[in-house]
Chains A and B, each alone.
Chain A
Amino acid sequence: MTPEAGIFYLFATVTVASAAVVVFARSLIYNAFALLFTFFGVGGLYLLLGADFLAATQLLVYVGGILVLLLFGVMLTHKLYNLNLRGEVSQLTSGIVAAAGLFAVLAWPFGWPFHFYGLAYRTDWQVNPGHAPGPTTHDIGSLFMGRFLLPFEAASILLLVALIGAAMIVRRRRDA
């Protein structure tokens, strides 16, 4: 096994196992902290794929922003003297059947039974992994200021509108 394969399987195991904890663990705090490890694992896979800027963005935005927001959501939607933060599940069996079927159709990797493979293994990908990954930040910056200027500005306005809208929604109205 090459070192790259070892690092890949390490990050893949961390990602998938902690995502399973996010979905299956009952405690909301366990869910949130397992989500932290999922984000770290995906960031590591980005690094392995040569996307250094995206890996840094993943850590800054997801771990520093979205996860903290989700923890605020957990804390604000439960009574604080209730330390038993339980998330309940419903229809677990049918959900597991549906999700397992989805995974099997998309990327079943083992080839048994009946030599069945998922779509990812049956497609003839036209790939070229030969080129070495280089630093990407300069190219991403010049593309955002060049060909992608309009989507970039639209995303800025979307963020502004979303933040103002979120503040408006949670505001306590005096007339209501």
Chain B
Amino acid sequence: MIGIQQYLTVSAALFSLGVLGVLTRRNAVNVLMGIELILNSANLNLVAFTRFSRLDAARDAARHAMDGQLFAVFVIVIAAAEVAVALAIVLTLYRLKRTPNLDEATSLKG
């Protein structure tokens, strides 16, 4: 029987791998991939809680039974906006420093 714990385990594994990518990769595009993994794990949690809610999503939409899925749609929108702006910043960094590595952008270091 697949319960909510199994989905939460997959989501926690995705989240941990995303955090690992953000912590260890030097390339800015790889860090963005880690952030996408984190956002996907959050979305998986939201959809799983919607599915296993005590409210019936098919009948109780007026009583907040669908709110998790709507929140997930907004998370997808934010992810699209975030990746567009972040890639613009990465391209500007590359044009300025000739490197995609985050730890070489040290102009503000004292």
Contact = CB atoms under 8 A, between A and B. Distances in A.
Nearest to B40: A42
Given A28-B27, A49-B48, A66 B20 contact: no
B17 to A, nearest CB: 5
A48 to B, nearest CB: 8
Interface size class of B (residues with CB under 8 A): 35 or more
B80 A66 contact: yes
A19 to B, nearest CB: 5
Give the secondary structure class of B's interface: helix
B86 to A, nearest CB: 9
Given A28-B29, A49-B47, A89-B24, A148 B70 contact: yes
B105 interface: no
A78 B101 CA distance: 11
B26 A131 contact: no
Contacts of A87: 25-27, 29-30
Contacts of B73: 54, 57, 140
Contacts of B85: 162, 165-166, 169
A5 B17 contact: no
Interface string B1-26: 11111111111111111111101111
A7 to B, nearest CB: 9
Secondary structure of the A contact surface, majority rule: helix
B29 A19 contact: no
A106 B5 CA distance: 11
19 contacts: A22-B33, A23-B25, A38-B40, A66-B36, A76-B94, A77-B90, A77-B91, A87-B30, A88-B25, A88-B26, A90-B26, A102-B15, A102-B16, A127-B3, A127-B54, A136-B57, A136-B66, A162-B85, A166-B88
Interface of B: 1-21, 23-30, 32-34, 36-37, 40, 43-44, 47-48, 50-54, 56-59, 61, 66, 69-70, 72-74, 76-85, 87-92, 94, 100-101, 103
Interface of A: 2, 4-5, 8, 12, 15-16, 19-20, 22-23, 28, 31-32, 35, 38-39, 42, 45-46, 49-51, 53-54, 57-58, 61-62, 65-66, 69-70, 72-74, 76-78, 87-92, 95-96, 98-100, 102-103, 106-107, 109, 118, 120-121, 125-129, 131-136, 139-140, 142-144, 148, 151, 155, 158-159, 162-163, 165-167, 169-170
